Amino acid sequence: MLMFRRHLLPWLKVLLCQGLALAIVLALLPMLPEGWRFGPGWVLLFEGALAALFGLVLRLPRIFLPIQLFLPLLVLYSDALPGWAYLVAFLLCLLLYWNSATEQVPLYLTNGRTAAALAALARERGARSLADLGSGLGDVVVRVARACPDVAVAGIETAPLAFALSRLRVALARAGNARIHYRSLWDEDLAAYDLVYCFLSPVPMPKLYEKALREMRPGTLLVSNSFIVPDVAPERVIEVEDGRRTRLHVYRMRG
Ligand SMILES: C[S@@+](CC[C@H](N)C(=O)[O-])C[C@H]1O[C@@H](n2cnc3c(N)ncnc32)[C@H](O)[C@@H]1O
Protein backbone atom coordinates (compact mmCIF):
# COMPACT_ATOMS: atom_id res chain seq x y z
CA MET A 1 0.00 0.00 0.00
CA LEU A 2 2.84 2.35 0.97
CA MET A 3 4.70 1.53 -2.26
CA PHE A 4 1.52 2.24 -4.26
CA ARG A 5 1.02 5.60 -2.54
CA ARG A 6 4.64 6.64 -2.95
CA HIS A 7 5.59 5.33 -6.39
CA LEU A 8 2.52 4.65 -8.50
CA LEU A 9 -0.03 7.18 -7.27
CA PRO A 10 2.02 10.29 -8.25
CA TRP A 11 2.36 9.01 -11.83
CA LEU A 12 -1.35 8.22 -12.00
CA LYS A 13 -1.97 11.81 -10.88
CA VAL A 14 0.42 13.05 -13.61
CA LEU A 15 -1.59 11.13 -16.23
CA LEU A 16 -4.84 12.50 -14.84
CA CYS A 17 -3.53 16.10 -14.86
CA GLN A 18 -2.16 15.78 -18.40
CA GLY A 19 -5.39 14.22 -19.65
CA LEU A 20 -7.47 16.96 -18.07
CA ALA A 21 -5.18 19.69 -19.41
CA LEU A 22 -5.26 18.16 -22.91
CA ALA A 23 -9.08 17.98 -22.85
CA ILE A 24 -9.30 21.65 -21.81
CA VAL A 25 -6.80 22.76 -24.48
CA LEU A 26 -8.63 20.79 -27.20
CA ALA A 27 -11.93 22.33 -26.08
CA LEU A 28 -10.49 25.87 -26.00
CA LEU A 29 -8.65 25.82 -29.35
CA PRO A 30 -11.74 26.03 -31.61
CA MET A 31 -13.06 28.91 -29.48
CA LEU A 32 -10.04 31.13 -30.11
CA PRO A 33 -10.98 34.38 -31.87
CA GLU A 34 -10.05 34.76 -35.54
CA GLY A 35 -6.44 35.78 -35.96
CA TRP A 36 -5.29 34.26 -32.65
CA ARG A 37 -2.90 31.62 -33.83
CA PHE A 38 -0.27 29.98 -31.67
CA GLY A 39 2.41 27.55 -32.75
CA PRO A 40 2.16 23.98 -31.41
CA GLY A 41 5.09 24.67 -29.04
CA TRP A 42 3.15 27.40 -27.20
CA VAL A 43 -0.01 25.30 -27.07
CA LEU A 44 1.90 22.38 -25.56
CA LEU A 45 3.64 24.65 -23.07
CA PHE A 46 0.23 26.04 -22.03
CA GLU A 47 -1.07 22.50 -21.65
CA GLY A 48 1.96 21.58 -19.51
CA ALA A 49 1.43 24.68 -17.34
CA LEU A 50 -2.24 23.74 -16.82
CA ALA A 51 -1.22 20.20 -15.89
CA ALA A 52 1.39 21.55 -13.46
CA LEU A 53 -1.32 23.73 -11.87
CA PHE A 54 -3.63 20.71 -11.46
CA GLY A 55 -0.67 18.85 -9.95
CA LEU A 56 -0.35 21.56 -7.31
CA VAL A 57 -4.05 21.23 -6.49
CA LEU A 58 -3.62 17.44 -6.17
CA ARG A 59 -0.59 18.08 -3.92
CA LEU A 60 1.93 16.35 -6.14
CA PRO A 61 5.51 16.74 -4.86
CA ARG A 62 7.25 19.80 -6.32
CA ILE A 63 9.68 17.65 -8.32
CA PHE A 64 6.72 16.92 -10.65
CA LEU A 65 6.24 20.61 -11.54
CA PRO A 66 8.93 20.71 -14.27
CA ILE A 67 8.00 17.18 -15.38
CA GLN A 68 4.37 18.24 -15.87
CA LEU A 69 5.35 21.49 -17.56
CA PHE A 70 7.64 20.00 -20.20
CA LEU A 71 6.12 16.54 -20.68
CA PRO A 72 3.79 17.46 -23.62
CA LEU A 73 6.63 19.30 -25.40
CA LEU A 74 9.03 16.41 -24.88
CA VAL A 75 6.53 13.85 -26.14
CA LEU A 76 5.90 15.76 -29.37
CA TYR A 77 9.46 16.91 -30.03
CA SER A 78 11.37 13.89 -28.68
CA ASP A 79 12.97 13.26 -32.08
CA ALA A 80 14.19 16.88 -32.26
CA LEU A 81 16.73 16.20 -29.48
CA PRO A 82 20.15 14.96 -30.60
CA GLY A 83 21.03 11.38 -29.69
CA TRP A 84 23.74 12.39 -27.21
CA ALA A 85 21.16 14.28 -25.11
CA TYR A 86 19.61 10.92 -24.18
CA LEU A 87 23.03 9.54 -23.27
CA VAL A 88 23.70 12.58 -21.05
CA ALA A 89 20.26 12.21 -19.42
CA PHE A 90 20.95 8.52 -18.82
CA LEU A 91 24.35 9.25 -17.26
CA LEU A 92 22.89 11.94 -15.00
CA CYS A 93 20.19 9.53 -13.83
CA LEU A 94 22.81 6.83 -13.27
CA LEU A 95 24.95 9.16 -11.14
CA LEU A 96 21.91 10.29 -9.14
CA TYR A 97 20.12 6.95 -8.71
CA TRP A 98 23.42 5.07 -8.19
CA ASN A 99 22.08 2.93 -5.34
CA SER A 100 18.70 2.02 -6.80
CA ALA A 101 19.75 -1.27 -8.36
CA THR A 102 22.43 -2.48 -5.95
CA GLU A 103 20.97 -1.37 -2.60
CA GLN A 104 17.36 -1.15 -3.77
CA VAL A 105 17.24 2.36 -2.35
CA PRO A 106 16.09 5.05 -4.79
CA LEU A 107 16.25 8.81 -4.28
CA TYR A 108 13.30 10.58 -2.73
CA LEU A 109 13.54 13.46 -0.31
CA THR A 110 12.54 14.21 3.24
CA ASN A 111 10.24 17.23 3.34
CA GLY A 112 10.72 20.35 5.46
CA ARG A 113 8.17 19.45 8.13
CA THR A 114 9.75 16.05 8.69
CA ALA A 115 13.23 17.58 8.93
CA ALA A 116 11.81 20.07 11.47
CA ALA A 117 10.32 17.19 13.49
CA LEU A 118 13.70 15.45 13.41
CA ALA A 119 15.47 18.62 14.58
CA ALA A 120 12.91 18.96 17.41
CA LEU A 121 13.60 15.35 18.44
CA ALA A 122 17.36 15.97 18.40
CA ARG A 123 16.87 19.03 20.65
CA GLU A 124 14.46 17.19 22.96
CA ARG A 125 16.97 14.34 23.44
CA GLY A 126 19.98 16.65 23.78
CA ALA A 127 21.74 15.02 20.82
CA ARG A 128 25.19 16.44 20.01
CA SER A 129 25.75 14.46 16.83
CA LEU A 130 23.43 13.26 14.08
CA ALA A 131 23.98 11.26 10.89
CA ASP A 132 21.73 11.02 7.85
CA LEU A 133 22.55 7.64 6.31
CA GLY A 134 22.06 8.09 2.57
CA SER A 135 21.81 11.86 2.69
CA GLY A 136 20.61 12.40 -0.89
CA LEU A 137 20.73 16.07 -1.87
CA GLY A 138 21.61 17.13 1.68
CA ASP A 139 18.21 18.62 2.61
CA VAL A 140 18.08 16.99 6.04
CA VAL A 141 21.71 17.77 6.78
CA VAL A 142 21.33 21.47 5.99
CA ARG A 143 17.94 21.91 7.66
CA VAL A 144 18.90 20.14 10.89
CA ALA A 145 22.30 21.86 10.99
CA ARG A 146 20.56 25.25 10.71
CA ALA A 147 17.89 24.41 13.28
CA CYS A 148 20.41 22.93 15.75
CA PRO A 149 23.70 24.86 15.53
CA ASP A 150 25.09 22.87 18.49
CA VAL A 151 24.64 19.51 16.77
CA ALA A 152 27.36 18.11 14.47
CA VAL A 153 25.43 16.82 11.45
CA ALA A 154 26.93 14.34 8.98
CA GLY A 155 25.54 13.17 5.67
CA ILE A 156 26.72 9.82 4.29
CA GLU A 157 26.19 9.29 0.56
CA THR A 158 27.62 7.25 -2.32
CA ALA A 159 25.57 8.41 -5.34
CA PRO A 160 28.21 10.61 -7.06
CA LEU A 161 25.89 13.35 -8.31
CA ALA A 162 23.86 13.50 -5.08
CA PHE A 163 27.16 13.69 -3.15
CA ALA A 164 28.53 16.52 -5.30
CA LEU A 165 25.29 18.52 -5.19
CA SER A 166 24.90 18.10 -1.43
CA ARG A 167 28.53 19.14 -0.84
CA LEU A 168 27.84 22.29 -2.85
CA ARG A 169 24.61 22.84 -0.94
CA VAL A 170 26.35 22.60 2.43
CA ALA A 171 29.11 24.97 1.24
CA LEU A 172 26.54 27.53 0.03
CA ALA A 173 24.53 27.22 3.25
CA ARG A 174 27.71 28.02 5.22
CA ALA A 175 26.63 25.58 7.90
CA GLY A 176 29.85 25.03 9.82
CA ASN A 177 28.35 22.13 11.80
CA ALA A 178 27.41 20.16 8.65
CA ARG A 179 29.57 17.70 6.70
CA ILE A 180 28.93 15.35 3.78
CA HIS A 181 31.08 12.21 3.45
CA TYR A 182 31.49 10.07 0.36
CA ARG A 183 31.14 6.72 2.08
CA SER A 184 28.84 3.72 2.11
CA LEU A 185 26.50 3.74 5.08
CA TRP A 186 27.64 0.16 5.74
CA ASP A 187 31.18 1.46 6.37
CA GLU A 188 30.14 4.26 8.72
CA ASP A 189 30.80 3.69 12.43
CA LEU A 190 27.47 4.48 14.08
CA ALA A 191 29.07 4.65 17.55
CA ALA A 192 29.96 8.26 16.75
CA TYR A 193 26.32 9.44 16.75
CA ASP A 194 23.63 10.22 19.31
CA LEU A 195 20.95 10.09 16.63
CA VAL A 196 21.04 8.22 13.33
CA TYR A 197 18.40 9.08 10.75
CA CYS A 198 17.58 7.12 7.61
CA PHE A 199 15.02 7.26 4.81
CA LEU A 200 15.90 4.24 2.70
CA SER A 201 13.52 1.42 1.72
CA PRO A 202 12.18 -1.75 3.37
CA VAL A 203 15.11 -3.80 1.98
CA PRO A 204 18.08 -2.66 4.13
CA MET A 205 16.15 -2.16 7.40
CA PRO A 206 16.78 -5.56 9.10
CA LYS A 207 20.53 -5.42 8.29
CA LEU A 208 20.76 -1.77 9.32
CA TYR A 209 19.09 -2.47 12.67
CA GLU A 210 21.59 -5.28 13.35
CA LYS A 211 24.43 -2.87 12.58
CA ALA A 212 22.87 -0.25 14.87
CA LEU A 213 22.56 -2.80 17.70
CA ARG A 214 26.24 -3.74 17.29
CA GLU A 215 27.62 -0.20 17.09
CA MET A 216 25.33 2.40 18.65
CA ARG A 217 25.67 3.34 22.30
CA PRO A 218 22.85 2.60 24.82
CA GLY A 219 20.27 5.38 24.90
CA THR A 220 21.06 6.65 21.39
CA LEU A 221 18.36 6.68 18.69
CA LEU A 222 17.86 5.16 15.26
CA VAL A 223 15.08 7.05 13.48
CA SER A 224 13.63 5.64 10.29
CA ASN A 225 11.40 7.69 8.04
CA SER A 226 8.45 5.52 6.92
CA PHE A 227 10.19 2.13 6.87
CA ILE A 228 9.92 -0.08 9.92
CA VAL A 229 12.33 -2.65 11.30
CA PRO A 230 10.32 -5.88 11.00
CA ASP A 231 9.34 -7.49 14.33
CA VAL A 232 10.86 -4.70 16.45
CA ALA A 233 8.57 -2.32 18.34
CA PRO A 234 9.75 1.29 18.11
CA GLU A 235 9.98 3.24 21.36
CA ARG A 236 7.83 5.90 19.74
CA VAL A 237 6.26 6.86 16.42
CA ILE A 238 6.20 10.55 15.53
CA GLU A 239 3.36 11.44 13.17
CA VAL A 240 4.29 14.43 11.08
CA GLU A 241 1.51 16.72 9.91
CA ASP A 242 2.57 16.85 6.28
CA GLY A 243 0.85 15.98 3.02
CA ARG A 244 2.03 12.37 2.99
CA ARG A 245 1.44 11.78 6.72
CA THR A 246 5.05 10.80 7.37
CA ARG A 247 5.77 8.52 10.32
CA LEU A 248 9.14 8.64 12.04
CA HIS A 249 9.87 5.31 13.75
CA VAL A 250 12.13 5.91 16.73
CA TYR A 251 14.21 2.94 17.96
CA ARG A 252 16.11 3.44 21.22
CA MET A 253 19.26 1.39 21.72
CA ARG A 254 19.23 -0.56 24.98
CA GLY A 255 22.22 -1.29 27.14
C1 LIG B 1 15.44 7.96 -0.14
S2 LIG B 1 16.95 8.83 -0.33
C3 LIG B 1 16.94 9.83 1.12
C4 LIG B 1 17.73 11.09 0.97
C5 LIG B 1 17.83 11.95 2.22
N6 LIG B 1 18.21 11.17 3.37
C7 LIG B 1 16.52 12.61 2.51
O8 LIG B 1 15.80 12.09 3.36
O9 LIG B 1 16.20 13.61 1.86
C10 LIG B 1 18.12 7.55 0.03
C11 LIG B 1 19.54 7.90 -0.28
O12 LIG B 1 20.37 6.87 0.23
C13 LIG B 1 21.47 6.73 -0.64
N14 LIG B 1 22.09 5.41 -0.40
C15 LIG B 1 21.57 4.19 -0.67
N16 LIG B 1 22.41 3.23 -0.31
C17 LIG B 1 23.51 3.84 0.22
C18 LIG B 1 24.73 3.38 0.77
N19 LIG B 1 25.02 2.08 0.85
N20 LIG B 1 25.60 4.28 1.24
C21 LIG B 1 25.34 5.60 1.16
N22 LIG B 1 24.21 6.11 0.63
C23 LIG B 1 23.29 5.23 0.17
C24 LIG B 1 20.86 6.89 -2.02
O25 LIG B 1 21.82 7.23 -3.00
C26 LIG B 1 19.85 8.02 -1.76
O27 LIG B 1 20.44 9.27 -2.00
Q: Is-contact 50 83, C-beta < 8 A?
A: no
pLDDT digits (tens, 9 = 90+) for 169-178: 999 999 999 9
Q: What is the CA(149)–ligand 1 centre distance, in A?
A: 23
Residues 6+ apart with CB under 8 A from 31: none
Q: What is the CA(134)–ligand 1 centre distance, in A?
A: 3
pLDDT digits (tens, 9 = 90+) for 26-54: 998 888 877 777 778 888 999 999 999 99
Q: Which of 7, 62, 99, 195 to mutate to test the pocket of ligand 1 (most atoms within 8 A of CB)?
A: 99
Domains in the chain (CATH in brackets) are 2-80 (no CATH), 112-252 (3.40.50.150)
Average pLDDT score, the chain:
91
Residues 6+ apart with CB under 8 A from 154: 129, 130, 131, 132, 141, 178, 179, 180, 181, 193
Q: Which helix (H) or strand (E) holds 40?
A: helix 40-57
